[in-house]
Amino acid sequence: MTFWKYLRDHGLLLLAIILGVTFVELVLYLDPNVQFDTGTLLYSWTLAMIIAGLCISVSYIRKKSWYKNLESYQEDLSKELSGAKNNEQLFVQEKINNIVLQYRQELTQLYQNQQDQQEYTESWVHDIKVPLAALKLASNDELDPELLSEETEQIDYLVDQALYFARLNNFSNDYLIKEQDLNEIVKNSIRTNKRSFINKRIGIDLDVSDQPVLTDSKWLSFILNQILANSLKYTAAGGKIQIFTTSEKQNILLHIKDNGIGIKTEDRTRVFNKGFTGSNGRTSGSKATGIGLYLVKKMIDRLGHLIEIKSTVGKGTEVIITFIDLPYYYSQG
């Protein structure tokens, strides 16, 4: 900010001073009861202009260091802007710092999303190599049809997971919350995983209320498929999975309970972390990626539901999804 630019910005103030002093001088000059020498009036007018000019110059000098801070600040946005000396500068400084803070947060989130996408892509490529290799063997008639079907389903599962992972950042553009038939969504998820139920001879105990819930059917189906896939993965052959609903404070709770190997206490709080497979994933020989439950938690939060996991090692795991009652939705409907 140069002095001349500063002067132009304060031109209206200078004009007001000049007109004000000139008006006072003119009144004194025209008043017959006041005897002023013309030279005195001109001297006082000139003196007032000099004082006004000095005030503007001093004001610019005081703000010059602030303007230099602003010019240099854009070169390093990692620090907060400082150096404000009056209320006007403090106001501008606070607003700039808030904008830059939001910019840094969005930049960090963008970088994190890129990192997540890169890490997931690398993991996904690694995971899909196994079923693809199995399909290559199938072309040589070295794979039985049952195993071929399992590997094909694994590819479908991984592709579906990748698709929803890619959509996660644009979630707000791809969902619609409305009343849904929870019973039908659960049954569709069971049908999707029916081969695993049959192959492992796992029983299903279903008791889901017909009461509608507010959710998005497509995203909830993906969530249930991920949870069921985990239950089936860690439940031994001949086991059992219970799916039922309860009510609590007008909220509907969906329970998915198995009698599998359970989750260790130290792992339970970390199961929703990205890439976390826990001791079960490391020791069971399963194809755990640590992405499924991470996606489940992200989607549950964005849908406005709640999720809780209860588990006892050797006895099983229970996942509880809470569908919050929204009275204002029904009153508006």
pLDDT tens track for 25-44: 777 777 677 676 777 778 78
Residue 248 above 50 pLDDT?
yes
Is residue 262 helix, strand or coil? coil
Report the range of poorest mean pLDDT among 82-86, 205-209, 275-279: 275-279
In the numeric block, which tokens belong to residue 23? Answer: 């008006």
pLDDT tens track for 186-207: 999 999 888 888 888 999 999 9
The Cα 53–Cα 180 span in angstroms is 73
In the numeric block, which tokens belong to residue 202? Answer: 């796992």
Asked if 82 contacts 69 with a C-beta cutoff of 8 angstroms, the reply is yes
Q: Which amino acid is at 307?
A: I
The DSSP H or E segment spanning 77 is none
Q: Determine whether domain 176-333 maps to CATH 1.25.40.10.
A: no
As annotated, the residues of the chain forming the CATH 3.30.565.10 domain(s) are 176-333
Read off the pTM.
Answer: 0.61
Residue 58 above 80 pLDDT?
no
The larger pLDDT score, comparing residue 216 to residue 13, is at 216
The DSSP H or E segment spanning 171 is none
Is residue 2 helix, strand or coil? coil
First-residue to last-residue Cα distance in the chain: 57
The DSSP H or E segment spanning 215 is strand 213-215
Q: How confident is the model at residue 161 (pLDDT cuts 50, 70, 90)?
A: confident
The Cα 28–Cα 55 span in angstroms is 25
